[in-house]
Amino acid sequence: MDKLPKVAFPVLFAVIVGIIIITKSVKTIDSGHAGVLYQLGGGVDPNSEPLGEGINFVAPWNSVIDYEVRQQELPEKMSVLSSNGLDIKLDASVLYQPDYKNLSKLHKEKGREYVSRVLQPAIRSAARSVVGRYTPEQLYSSKRDAIQDEIFEETKKIVESQYIQLNNILIRDVTLPPTIKDAIERKLKQEQESLEYEFRLVTAAKEAEKVIIEAQGKADANKILSASLTDKILQDKGIEATVKLSESNNSKVVVIGSGDSGMPIILGNQ
C-alpha cells in the first residue's frame, strides 16, 4: 500500500462512492406494481407520473413508495339493518385497484392506507343505504342480484373521485336471523305448493275441455251421418255388398227373392 501513489486513494474513494450512489439510484419495480417518487425537500408531486415496472433511476436522496396496481380482493363482512329493522349480515368480496394515472394524488391525499380510510367506509355506507330499502324476504330470494348491483353503483360514486377504481362487488352470502329464515322458507314452500296445485287444476280443466270438444265432435259427425243415410242409399249399399260377396271365391251363397226391405235373402253354406 505504501508503494501506491497518493492519487490512487482519492480515485478509489470516488469509485466506491460512485458505486454506492449508483446502487442507491437504481429502483426496481416488480410486475403489477408502480412507484410514487418522494423527493427530499419537495415531497410527492401529485401531478407526477408513477414509476413503471422494471429498473428506474432516481436521485439517491429521493425514495420510492411501492404500490400494487393489479386488481385486488377485499373480503368484507357487514352487519346492516333491513327495512323493518332486522339485523342482516352480508358476506361480500370487493374487487378494486388504485387508479394508476392518479397514483401520486392517491398517495398525497389518502396514503397507502386508502383501503381502510376510503374504500371500506364507502362500502359499508352504501350497503346500509341499499339494504335498508328491502325486506328480509327480498334479501333472501329475488332481490339479491339487484342489491349487489345497487351497492356497487353507490360505492363507485363515492370512490371513483378519490382515485380508486372499483371493478365489482360480489355478495357471497346473506345471513338472516334463524327464526326469520325459517319463516321465509315455510312461506316460499307454501307458495310453491299453491302454484303446483293451481297448475294441476288448470291442466285438469284443459283435459276436461278437450274431452268435451272431442265428444261433441263425434256426436255432430254421427248426427250428420244419420241424416244422410236414406232407405235408398242403404238399399244400394246392400246390393253392392251382395254383388261383392257373390263374386268371392271363398264363399258359397244362395240368393233367393227379396225380403221385406227389398234386399235379396242370402243363405250361407251352413
Cell of 30: 416488480
- Using 50, 70 and 90 to split pLDDT, how confident is the model at 270? very low
Residue-level pLDDT at 89 = 87
**Residue 47 predicted with pLDDT over 60:** yes
Residues 251-263 as b or e (16 or more Cβ within 10 Å = b): eeeeeeeeeeeee
Residue type, 240: E
- Using 50, 70 and 90 to split pLDDT, how confident is the model at 255? low
The model carries a pTM of 0.60
**Look-up of cell digits 328491502:** 134
- The CA distance from 259 to 62, in Å, is 132
Residue-level pLDDT at 96 = 97
Residues 207-248: tens digit of each pLDDT:
878 878 887 877 777 677 666 656 666 566 666 666 666 666
Residues 23-44: tens digit of each pLDDT:
666 778 889 999 998 888 788 8
Nearest partner of 95 among 176, 138, 155, 182, judged by Cα: 155
**Residue 148 predicted with pLDDT over 60:** yes
Residue-level pLDDT at 177 = 72
Residues 134-144: tens digit of each pLDDT:
887 777 766 77
Burial class (CB in 10 A: 0-12, 13-18, 19+), 41: exposed
